[in-house]
A and B are shown apart, each in its own frame.
Chain A
């Protein structure tokens, strides 16, 4: 599959180079009146359909923020559902304008596949979940355990590396989907379930007694997830990057969905004023309306609010901010200034 993807993308690269001779993505998006956003086909908390049939979640929120920044209307998004196998071709071929889809920022995706990651909206990492009955407190005590693992993913490689480097052995129980993992884990066919920590938390929340299971403190891989666009259109990349940065900065500066209207009228803080368009015209520098930050935050809230709404401690998923806290609060979330 990998070689196939590469071959497809090689052909795609040619098409994209030719395509870039035309107008930029931002102009195209403005002309058609909506952002075409590639999302996943369903990851708890990150992308799901609500009872009314609308896409919601941590990832679609980024798409909605971008749409709000451009059009002042968070509903000017059309979603294309992509799977792990079709996501990159969908982006490279221009079927979607951006991907916001639990995609790990890696060297080869950035360079070889020719995409531009415009930031990180969730710092994830592979972890382990075990039952409390097992009485282990560290992943280092898991020698000889049976592990439920999704086959053919990087998690499989990470797991093998981790166990080998710690001189331990394990027995793999191959599974395909999250639901299958949950069933197997509940039935006791595997002692451990390993996948990204966010996925573990989501799975744990659906177990009959979530408190009987713990997620080990060890995180064995770096999975920075973020939105991405095609190489070669820097203006569009900037748009997506700075909308995301606006959400993060808003949290840092205390701008929320509730008070953004009030703050947009002008505050004592010049950075807030610049971001919300009360002072200067930052938006024009990248082809956006002056109040793009105002509109984006008004539509979806700041980063902290989005986090809290879909995956935070008060939701059943119950993810702690951890690495994803602001740099001022012990995390590594850090947005360059609006200046």
Chain B
């Protein structure tokens, strides 16, 4: 019997012993490895058996997609009445934006996607030119939504629904990032006044709930201004939301800055880089990279917090839902509204979290294994 010879390191993998592979083995190992795990598996299966058929029946098979009132829905089927959402989808999307001008919202959103492309994806064709467009987008977007200069002016009180959520969420996110970084650097600054001001600002804003700031925006601010001047409510809300989230971003970024070894800054000094350059080329790229999960976390929180504006009378999707549910034709379909709105928020937030994972992997340069 001759033994087969292999050069070191080239021996092919042996098959696992019989009974140690395959689907059955996986089941046994992961689902039924002990009496307790078996019990858990069976209970879970039973619960899923109870929930899934009922839920899918309600949401899909017994659901009604076309009807013109709740009564009508009930006649057609016992499941969810998606016809209600279908009927109100325009309201949920645009709020009270004038019907003839809604193309502007759509165009604005399309341009927004175009503007985000070069920022989020570094292989965008003609990225450099596109970035100029991204820089100009806030002004174009404002012009499209609010009007003036040749477009029919639309009051911001007519904003509502998903559009309002996007406006508040995106503006808050876009503006709070630079302000947050500036505040984080300010808090670490050697200059006492800047450091002191940044710290005060951050601590004050973080110490107050967002809802309080929104109340200040909606009720108190009116009285500090001369009577008769009305300062746009949505603008006030945008400012408060931005300030609120920039305080949080500042703390997240500060965490990142503190994780950078002191030697990095000293090495930058030794190379003769001034403050701006050492921050831009050495410190911030590293600090921001490790802050990504925290930053995205803050953004997702901010995006969901935009629903709080319903308390000061702005009609975000939940507010539109409430106003629609008060129509006696449709009253009582709250579950459909909440599930629909939850679905929208899930898509947005899940998208953000997936992007953050992509970014982390892309920037993964060997600090973790």
Contacts and interface: CB of A to CB of B under 8 A. Distances in A.
A87 to B, nearest CB: 8
Interface stretch (B87-95, B133-141, B180-188, B361-369): B87-95
B332 A41 contact: no
Bin the interface of chain B by size: 35 or more
A46 B327 CA distance: 9
Contact of B223 (A11, A90, A317): A11
Contacts of B313: 41, 80-83, 86, 90
B9 interface: no
B322 A41 contact: yes
B326 A16 contact: no
A42 B326 contact: yes
B217 to A, nearest CB: 11
Given A42-B323, A48-B326, A179-B325, A15 B310 contact: no
A94 B228 contact: yes
A184 interface: no
A259 interface: no
Contacts of A235: none
B324 to A, nearest CB: 6
Given A11-B223, A12-B223, A93-B222, A81 B327 contact: no
A137 B227 CA distance: 54
A53 B230 contact: no
A22 B324 CA distance: 39
B218 A86 contact: yes
B328 A95 contact: no
B157 interface: yes
Contacts of B327: 44, 48-51, 56
A17 B37 CA distance: 73
A86 B324 CA distance: 21
Interface string B244-255: 000000000000
Nearest to A183: B334
A86 B219 contact: yes
Interface in B89-121: 90-91, 96, 99
B314 interface: yes
Contacts of B70: 206
Contacts of A202: 328, 331
B220 interface: yes
Nearest to B230: A95
Contacts of A43: 326
B65 interface: no
A78 B230 CA distance: 15
Interface string A72-94: 00000010111101100110011
Contacts of B87: 51
A256 B91 CA distance: 33
B317 interface: no
Interface string A50-62: 1101011100000
Interface string A20-59: 0010000000000000000001111111111101011100
Interface in A193-243: 202, 205-207
Contacts of B256: none
Contacts of B323: 41-42, 47-49, 55, 81
Q: Which of A44, A55, A78, A93 has the most CB of B within 10 A?
A: A93
Contacts of A12: 222-223
B227 A94 contact: yes
A57 B329 CA distance: 12
Interface in A132-187: 177, 179, 182-183
A285 interface: no
Interface string A279-312: 0000000000000000000000000000000000
Nearest to B98: A53
B171 to A, nearest CB: 21
A19 interface: yes
B309 to A, nearest CB: 10
Q: Which of B87, B215, B319 has the most CB of A within 10 A?
A: B215
B320 interface: yes
Contacts of B324: 42, 48-49
A80 B227 contact: no
Contacts of A46: 326
Interface string B317-357: 00110111111110110100000000000000000000000
Contacts of A206: 70, 328, 331-332
A315 interface: yes
B311 interface: yes
Q: Which of B215, B233, B319, B327 has the most CB of A within 10 A?
A: B327
Interface of A: 4, 8, 11-12, 14-16, 18-19, 22, 41-51, 53, 55-57, 78, 80-83, 85-86, 89-90, 93-95, 177, 179, 182-183, 202, 205-207, 315-317
Q: Closest 9 CB pairs between A and B?
A: A206-B332, A48-B326, A19-B227, A42-B326, A93-B222, A42-B323, A89-B219, A11-B223, A48-B327
27 contacts: A12-B222, A14-B223, A15-B222, A42-B319, A42-B322, A42-B324, A43-B326, A44-B325, A44-B328, A44-B331, A45-B328, A47-B323, A47-B326, A48-B324, A48-B325, A48-B327, A49-B91, A53-B91, A80-B157, A85-B215, A89-B218, A93-B219, A94-B230, A179-B325, A183-B334, A202-B331, A206-B70
Given A95-B222, A206-B331, 7 more contacts: A8-B223, A42-B323, A49-B323, A49-B326, A51-B88, A83-B312, A177-B322
